[in-house]
Structure formats: structure tokens, C-alpha cells
Amino acid sequence: MSFRQFLREKDTGFKSSSYLLYGSDEFFLKEAERNIKEGMHDDQKSFGLDIYDLDFPTGKLSLLKEIVDSLNTFSFFSENKVVIVRNAQKIKKAEMALFKGYLDNPSDSSTLFIFYNDRLNTNKKDAFRNCKIISLDHNRNELREWISSYAGSLGISLSAEVTAYLIGMSGDSAGLLASEVNKLSLTGKDKIGMEDLRDIFYGESGVDTFELTRAISSGNSRKAFALAARISGSGTNMLLGAINWQISRNKDRASQDTLLHYYRILLEADTINKSTGTEYPLELLITKLLYR
């Protein structure tokens, strides 16, 4: 993940005339924009900041002309104008020529931040070659580093097990991860372990996905379905995370066939959750995990 690279650019005062920030996780794009605004003084935000969003089907060409005009217009109330363009992935090839003309000859008094909410293919990367290009995408190890750093910024420390569980539960969604860590930061504890996590997330209900996962792994179907009936509002996402965490802890003890069986089921449930916006039926998930 290059979010660290982005923060280094911020620390040095964003010396390039134009930046392309791209990634498939919208959370990091929003975090980058927040950091840009955070580094501006009030007068600059009031008189030297223009924000444009290209997330609509028509009228982009006229808006791109307006963006270029804004970039080339000197701000009398601010030393440096900042222009933010969201959803640049919506720019079509025919519309890119106007934008590219500015990138080839940028203004000395403006800084352009282009946000691209997608992966960047070779053709698009070439079109933006005069920008400083920073990827905000991440892998699992980088996400682990980031969430530990984010927790530290909130004054708490997460154990390695808690970090692994939260990542498994969130499906690598940084936004969901940040939301859960924000909850943990309100507990008054500075060090969070697995028992703390259990108390914080499940203290009121008296039952949790850890307990349900243990019932499934031991083949205790009666207990598993009884626990499932008592879990309300958690849905399958929390259970998917708990099972993923449990498998990761015990993968050296299980056969490859068993691991493949579990991972296929988890992938199916996770895909349905994300593609349809509906929760995979909890009872069906438990049945598939229990019986092969």
C-alpha cells in the first residue's frame, strides 16, 4: 500500500503540480482527501479550494473545461490553489484530450489532485503519465500494518490476534475495519486482546461468534443451531470473519481437503453478501459447514 507514500508527499508539502491517487477501496481515497484538506489553512479552504465530481453520465466535457479554467485561474486570496477532481475513472477516452493538454503544461500556482476509484490499467496510466501516480491499494500484510498504525493514532494497541480477527471479519474493507477500531477506542482500555473483544462486541447478548465457531468445528450441530438462534443482528458477516480467523489459527492441523471445503463455503457466502447486498442465510451457512 502506498498510503505511506501519500503521507510522505503531504509532509513535504505536495511539491508536484498534479497527483493521481487511485485505488479500489473508497475509504483510502476519502482518507487521502481528508488529509489534503487537513493540511490547508482556513483561508485557503475558503478561497483556494475547488472540488469537482465526475460521477454523472453527461456534461463531463463542459465540466472538464471548467476544471481546466479553474486550474489556470490565479487565486488572489491564496498562495496556491488546490483543485480536487473525484471519480476520474468516469472520463472517457474522447474526453481525456482536454485534460491531458493541461497535464502537459500545468499551472505553477495550482495543485491538482485526481481521485480515481478503480484499478489503473496501462492505457489510463499512460494518459496520466505527467501526474505523480500513487496507488492506495493494499495487500493483507499492508492492511495489518495500517490498522495497527490507525489504532495507535487513537491511543489503543491491538494484539496480533485481534488484528487478524478484525481483518477476517471485515473482508479486507478498510472502512469497516476503521469503524470497528473506532468502537474499541471508546472503551477506555489502551490494550485490546481477544477477551476484551469478546466482552466489547458480545457482552450484552451473552453469546458470540467465537462460541458458535467452536461448536461448528467440534461438529456439535445442536449447540451450533441453538447459538445461531440467539444471535440477532450480527448476520453472517461476523461469523464469516470468526470462521476465517479460526481456520487461520488451525490450518496446520487440518487436511487440504477440509480447508478447501471451508474456504469454498466462505467464498460463496462472501460473494453473495457483496454482490447482492443481502445476508447469506445463517442456518444454511452452518449446515454447509457442518455436513460434507
Burial-class residue 3 by CB neighbours within 10 Å (0-12, 13-18, 19+).
buried
Domain residue ranges in the chain:
3-135, 142-290
Q: What is the pTM of this model?
A: 0.74
pLDDT of residue 117: 94
Q: What is the pLDDT averaged over residues 27-39?
A: 93
Q: What is the pLDDT of residue 111?
A: 96
Q: Which amino acid is at 274?
A: K
Average pLDDT, the chain: 84
Is the per-residue pLDDT at 208 higher than 70? no
User: Residue 282's pLDDT is what?
Assistant: 79
- What pLDDT score was predicted for residue 14? 95
pLDDT at residue 283 is higher than 90: no
**Residue among 35, 74, 31, 71 at smallest CA distance from 51:** 71
Instruction: Provide the pLDDT confidence category of residue 202 given band limits of 50, 70 and 90.
Output: low
What is the pLDDT, as a whole number, of residue 206?
47
**Of 265, 271, 220, 273, nearest to 244 (Cα)?**
265
Distance (Å, rounded) from C-alpha 270 to C-alpha 276? Answer: 10
Share of the chain above pLDDT 70, in %: 90
Task: Tell me which DSSP letter residue 157 carries.
Answer: E
What count of other Cβ atoms lies within 10 Å of the Cβ of residue 208? 21
Residue 55: exposure state from Cβ atoms within 10 A (0-12, 13-18, ≥19): exposed
pLDDT higher for 201 or 144? 144
pLDDT over 90 at 37, yes or no: yes
* Cβ atoms of residues 66 and 96 within 8 Å: no
Angle at 57 between CA 55 and CA 58, to 5 degrees: 115
- In terms of Cα–Cα distance, which of 270, 281, 204, 203 is closest to 235? 281
Residues above pLDDT 90, as percent of the chain: 33
Class for the domain spanning 3-135: alpha beta
pLDDT of residue 1: 54
- Over residues 228-261, the pLDDT tens digits come to 777 655 556 667 777 777 777 777 777 788 788 8
More confident residue, 156 or 183: 156
38-80 pLDDT, tens per residue?
A: 988 888 888 889 999 998 766 677 889 999 999 998 877 667 8
DSSP H helices, 1-41, are 3-11, 26-38
Grid cell listed for 94: 474522447
